[in-house]
């Protein structure tokens, strides 16, 4: 990205320099009677057309730091206001370039003026134009690229950390078993721990594969009609063993026979993650309720628990990859930290959304809102074949 911007900036600087030079050869030393300045100090013909097609912010300054031309992007980002360049760092660069004639490149942060950003990061290139003190400023917004790079770095670091724990545990347990070869009881105990860590590693890899498949929020390639009841029953079947171990009852209620347009496997995955999460963070002898209801052109699927709840300050971050409200508890339950991120991306892939209500000590309710099959949430009686009910 930085290389492409430098190449584009170099080409633009060269093209504009040619235009300035040609303008000065064709009309040397002419005087503008109205403005009282040399025509060369104004914007030459053709320069405005070049600047208009640039994707980056572009500004041309005269010898007195007055803006001769500014692209709409430069004004939208707040780099230019009226006929003045507002970014002090850019103005300082422009004056240095005007003094010594050397092209300069840099990166600057500017207070956000667009899309609610706090700051906008720019890669900038400043070059002299002509012999009348004009300066060209090109600024490329690279805020999103930096954000993506930061997310990628964090993701790699988190994955490495999460993989290191079970892999390290397996290595230590293998050594321990080797040392305890003459103690069958110890071998059995440590082998059980190895199975637990291997299962944890398997879940993490599976979740990473699922997340990589859907995180682009791209439409589902081969969608079909999905019966909500069947998806919920499949998800509950996956979670029954964990729930039974804590004497947690899984309850299914609400409107039956509703359908969505999407991918049944992805929906089951999202529901399984929500139910697993509810079971993991609920005390023993409670219940988790999965309910369904029509909501106009959508279907709402809610998973409610009587668990520990989520602190208010954590609600905005719980769908981030690897974010944990209680890291120690999550690792103790074998969670990967990817479950809710997967749910968010499954919802996005179905053109839907997921929301959460929670209160500490009172439990949580996660709600998937997905577009209904046919555009309207209509229940289909089980006795009527789906094909005939279209």
Q: Radius of gyration of the chain from Cα atoms?
A: 31
Q: For the stretch 136-145, what's the b/e string if a residue is b when 16 or more beta carbons lie within 10 angstroms of its beta carbon? A: bbbbbbbbee
Whether 271 is covered by a domain: the verdict is yes
Backbone angles phi, psi at 370, to 5 degrees: -125, 145
Nearest to 141 by CA among 81, 93, 77: 77
Nearest to 267 by CA among 346, 341, 376, 354: 346
pTM, whole model, 2 decimals? 0.58
Task: Mark whether 357 and 259 lie in a shared domain.
Answer: yes
Task: Mark whether 230 and 372 lie in a shared domain.
Answer: yes
Q: Which of 87, 107, 142 is the last residue of a domain?
A: 142
Task: Mark whether 135 and 251 lie in a shared domain.
Answer: no
pLDDT, position 383: 45
pLDDT, position 145: 82
Task: Mark whether 229 and 135 lie in a shared domain.
Answer: no
Whether 18 is covered by a domain: the verdict is no
pLDDT, position 352: 92
**Paired sense of beta strands 287-295 and 259-262, if any:** unpaired
Task: Mark whether 235 and 374 lie in a shared domain.
Answer: yes
pLDDT, position 259: 92
Percent helix, strand and coil across the chain, each to the nearest 5: 45, 25, 30
Q: Which of 106, 125, 142 is the last residue of a domain?
A: 142
Q: How far apart are the first and last CA of the chain?
A: 49
Whether 302 is covered by a domain: the verdict is yes
Whether 232 is covered by a domain: the verdict is yes
pLDDT in tens, 201-229: 887 887 787 777 777 656 677 788 999 99
Q: Which of 105, 120, 142 is the last residue of a domain?
A: 142
Nearest to 208 by CA among 332, 345, 325, 350: 345
Beta-ladder partners of 303: 290, 366
- Count of domains forming the chain: 2
pLDDT in tens, 345-378: 999 888 899 999 998 888 999 999 999 987 776 6
pLDDT in tens, 88-130: 888 999 999 999 889 998 888 887 655 455 688 888 999 888 7
- Output the CA–CA distances (angstroms, integers) from residue 269 to 160, 316, 320, 343, in the order listed: 24, 22, 17, 8
Whether 135 is covered by a domain: the verdict is yes
Task: Mark whether 101 and 230 lie in a shared domain.
Answer: no
Residues sharing a CB contact under 8 Å with residue 368, sequence separation 6 or more, in sequence order: 270, 271, 274, 300, 301, 302, 343, 347, 352, 353, 354
Task: Mark whether 125 and 224 lie in a shared domain.
Answer: no
pLDDT, position 159: 74
Task: Mark whether 235 and 355 lie in a shared domain.
Answer: yes
Task: Mark whether 113 and 253 lie in a shared domain.
Answer: no
Whether 344 is covered by a domain: the verdict is yes
Residue spans of the chain under pLDDT 70: 1-53, 55, 112-118, 151, 216-219, 324-336, 377-378, 380-390
Task: Mark whether 330 and 232 lie in a shared domain.
Answer: yes
- What CATH number does the domain containing 357 carry? 3.30.565.10
Task: Mark whether 230 and 373 lie in a shared domain.
Answer: yes
pLDDT, position 385: 43
**Paired sense of beta strands 224-227 and 134-141, if any:** unpaired
DSSP state of 359: E
- What CATH number does the domain containing 124 carry? 3.30.450.20
Task: Mark whether 226 and 363 lie in a shared domain.
Answer: yes
Whether 306 is covered by a domain: the verdict is yes
Is the separation of the CB atoms in 217 and 353 below 8 Å?
Answer: no
Quote the domain boundaries for residue 244: 220-380
Whether 153 is covered by a domain: the verdict is no
pLDDT, position 160: 76
Is the separation of the CB atoms in 231 and 268 below 8 Å?
Answer: yes
Using alpha carbons only, give the angle 242, 304, 353 rounded to the nearest 5 degrees.
Answer: 110
pLDDT, position 36: 29
């Amino acid at each position: 990205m930085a290389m492409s911007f430098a190449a584009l900036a170099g080409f633009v600087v060269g093209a504009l320099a040619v235009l300035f030079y040609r303008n000065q050869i064709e009309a040397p030393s002419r005087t503008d009677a109205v403005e009282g300045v040399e025509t060369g100090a104004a914007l030459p013909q053709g320069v405005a057309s070049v600047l208009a097609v640039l994707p980056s912010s572009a500004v041309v300054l005269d010898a007195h730091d007055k803006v001769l031309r500014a692209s709409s992007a430069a004004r939208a980002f707040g780099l230019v206001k009226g006929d003045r360049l507002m970014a002090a760092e850019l103005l300082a660069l422009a004056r240095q370039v005007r003094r010594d004639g050397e092209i300069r490149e840099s990166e600057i942060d500017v207070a956000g003026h667009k899309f609610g950003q706090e700051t906008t990061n720019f890669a900038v290139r400043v070059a002299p134009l002509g012999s009348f003190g004009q300066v060209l400023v090109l600024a490329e917004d690279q805020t999103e690229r930096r954000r993506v790079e930061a997310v990628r770095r964090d993701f790699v670091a988190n994955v490495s950390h999460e993989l290191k724990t079970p892999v390290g545990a397996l290595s230590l347990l293998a050594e321990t078993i080797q040392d305890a070869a003459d103690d069958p009881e110890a071998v059995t105990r440590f082998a059980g721990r190895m199975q637990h860590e291997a299962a944890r590693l398997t879940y993490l890899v599976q979740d990473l594969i699922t997340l990589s498949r859907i995180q682009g929020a791209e439409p589902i390639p081969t969608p079909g009609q999905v019966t909500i009841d069947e998806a919920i029953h499949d998800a509950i079947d996956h979670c029954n063993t964990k729930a039974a171990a804590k004497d947690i009852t899984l309850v299914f209620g609400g409107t039956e026979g509703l359908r969505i347009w999407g991918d049944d496997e992805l929906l089951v995955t999202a529901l399984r993650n929500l139910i697993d999460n509810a079971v993991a963070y609920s005390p023993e002898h409670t219940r988790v309720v999965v309910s369904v209801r029509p909501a106009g052109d959508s279907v709402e699927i809610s998973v409610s628990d009587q668990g520990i709840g989520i602190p208010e300050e954590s609600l905005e971050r719980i769908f981030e990859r690897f974010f944990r409200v209680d890291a120690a508890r999550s690792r103790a339950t074998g969670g990967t930290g990817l479950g809710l991120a997967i749910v968010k991306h499954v919802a996005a892939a179905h053109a839907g959304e997921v929301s959460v209500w929670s209160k500490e000590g009172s439990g949580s309710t996660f709600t998937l809102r997905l577009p209904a099959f046919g555009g309207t949430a209509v229940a289909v009686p089980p006795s009527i074949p789906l094909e005939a009910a279209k």
